[in-house]
């Protein structure tokens, strides 16, 4: 389950023991590190971050996790990412390695394609953070976005307890840009929306009727699989009536190495300065990898708008819309 946002948290002055760090024995491999064990981590404060690389909710937390890993490395903090995939292509080690390099995830990453580490932690969410003290006791958790100050205060206190050294009270500051820009919660009225048959909601047939907010439709020749909509012929499209600053869509070519050009319109016009990271002002872009694509970022006031994407060639897989 992807978790969007939580508010509040615990006070650093009083946080309980929530169990013991179960370890990473179920990992099938590691990036950026040799395998880590609980015994090797004893004496360190450990932050475990569950992620999957297409999850926009995790991406919006990454700047903080990355900054904590860098700031507190020499003071005894070890950050361990656990990559547990949501979609089948996220099990591919080459895809995860590309994502880690592209997203500057330089701390150790345990690969968890079989959900063994996920189950050991009894975890249910992306993103999820667990913070353990030097004795291996879990002292704090954060499910979903937010809670950044609480997490950092817990890190600081546990580092002081572990070493007795002075740890600065200063908090990290991270850029609010790209995929890592924080959600515009005040203007977010569109939910995460899956396109595969297992979880699809708010789909309407393409009969020429105007879409209502959060409805979506397909045009062209598509096959609806359990986890994705797959385009069979050129010039197929997806339309979505949305209310948000950002429109993101998990896409991929059906064949490794293939590319699929596309065109984006917003209320029937090229996006101009509302184009996302993966689209130019004219609305042109290309699907070249299995990943999250940012297609719209509205720079001004937010209104109900209709997003349209047309794929100029077949062979694209569309998985899920997310908004910000």
pLDDT in tens, 59-76: 999 999 999 999 999 999
Residue 5 has pLDDT above 60, yes or no: no
| Side-chain-facing half-sphere of 291: CA atoms under 13 Å | 22
Overall average pLDDT of the 135-139 stretch: 97
Q: What is the pLDDT of residue 3?
A: 60
Overall average pLDDT of the 25-33 stretch: 97
| Side-chain-facing half-sphere of 133: CA atoms under 13 Å | 17
- CA-wise closest residue to 33 among 100, 133, 125, 92: 100
DSSP string for 277-293: TTS-TTSEEEE-SSEEE
Q: In what order do the strands lie in the sheet with 45-51?
A: 29-31, 109-111, 77-83, 45-51, 128-132, 138-143
Helix (H) and strand (E) counts in the chain: 5, 17
CA–CA separation, 251 vs 112, rounded Å?
22
- CA-wise closest residue to 52 among 95, 83, 94: 83
DSSP string for 178-194: GGGSPP-GGG-----EE
- What is the share, in percent, of the chain residues with pLDDT greater than 70? 95
Rounded to 5 degrees, φ, ψ at 171 are -105, 150
Q: What is the pLDDT of residue 6?
A: 44
Confidence (pTM):
0.93
DSSP string for 57-70: HHHHHHHHHHHHHH
Q: What is the pLDDT of residue 1?
A: 63
pLDDT digits (tens, 9 = 90+) for 83-128: 999 999 999 999 999 999 999 999 999 999 999 999 999 999 999 9
First to last CA, the chain: 17
Contact present, 230 and 260 (Cβ < 8 Å): no
Specify whether the backbone of 271 is left (phi greater than 0), alpha (psi in -120 to 50) or beta. alpha
Residue 229: CB atoms within 10 Å? 21
91 token code pair: 């099990």
Spatial CB neighbours of 126, under 8 Å, sequence gap ≥ 6: 1, 2, 3, 50, 51, 52, 55, 57, 58, 84, 86
Q: What is the pLDDT of residue 214?
A: 98
Per-residue pLDDT band for 14 (boundaries 50, 70, 90) equals low
Mean pLDDT over each residue of the chain, to the nearest integer:
94
pLDDT digits (tens, 9 = 90+) for 174-187: 999 999 999 999 99
Q: Residue with structure tokens 């394609």?
A: 113
CA–CA separation, 106 vs 91, rounded Å?
19
pLDDT digits (tens, 9 = 90+) for 247-300: 999 999 999 899 999 999 999 999 999 999 999 999 999 999 999 999 999 999
């Amino acid at each position: 389950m992807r978790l969007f946002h939580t508010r509040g948290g615990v006070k650093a002055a009083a946080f309980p023991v929530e169990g013991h760090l179960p370890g990473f024995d179920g990992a099938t491999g590691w990036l950026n590190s040799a395998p880590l064990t609980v015994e090797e981590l004893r004496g360190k404060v450990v932050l475990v971050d569950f992620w999957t690389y297409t999850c926009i909710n995790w991406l919006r937390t990454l700047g903080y996790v990355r900054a904590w890993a860098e700031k507190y490395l020499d003071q005894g903090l070890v950050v361990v990412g656990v990559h547990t995939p949501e979609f089948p292509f996220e099990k591919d080690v080459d895809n995860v390695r590309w994502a880690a390099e592209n997203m500057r995830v330089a701390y150790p990453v345990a690969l968890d394609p079989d959900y063994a580490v996920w189950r050991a932690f009894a975890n249910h969410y992306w993103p999820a953070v667990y913070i353990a003290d030097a004795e291996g006791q879990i002292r704090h958790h954060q499910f979903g976005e937010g809670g950044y100050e609480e997490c950092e205060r817990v890190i600081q206190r546990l580092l002081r307890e572990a070493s007795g050294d002075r740890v600065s009270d200063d908090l990290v500051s991270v850029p609010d840009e790209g995929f890592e820009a924080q959600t515009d919660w005040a203007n977010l009225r569109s939910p995460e929306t899956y396109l595969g048959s297992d979880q699809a909601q708010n789909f309407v047939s393409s009969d020429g009727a105007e879409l209502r907010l959060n409805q979506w439709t397909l045009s062209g020749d598509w096959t609806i699989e359990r986890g994705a909509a797959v385009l069979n012929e050129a010039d197929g499209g997806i339309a979505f009536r949305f209310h948000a600053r950002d429109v993101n869509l998990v896409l991929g070519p059906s064949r490794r190495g293939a590319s699929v050009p596309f065109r984006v319109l917003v209320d029937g016009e090229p996006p101009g300065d509302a184009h996302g990271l993966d689209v130019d002002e004219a609305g042109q872009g290309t699907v070249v990898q299995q990943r999250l694509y940012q297609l719209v970022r509205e720079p001004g006031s937010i209104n109900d708008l209709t997003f349209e994407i047309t794929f100029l060639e077949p062979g694209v897989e569309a998985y899920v819309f997310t908004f910000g």
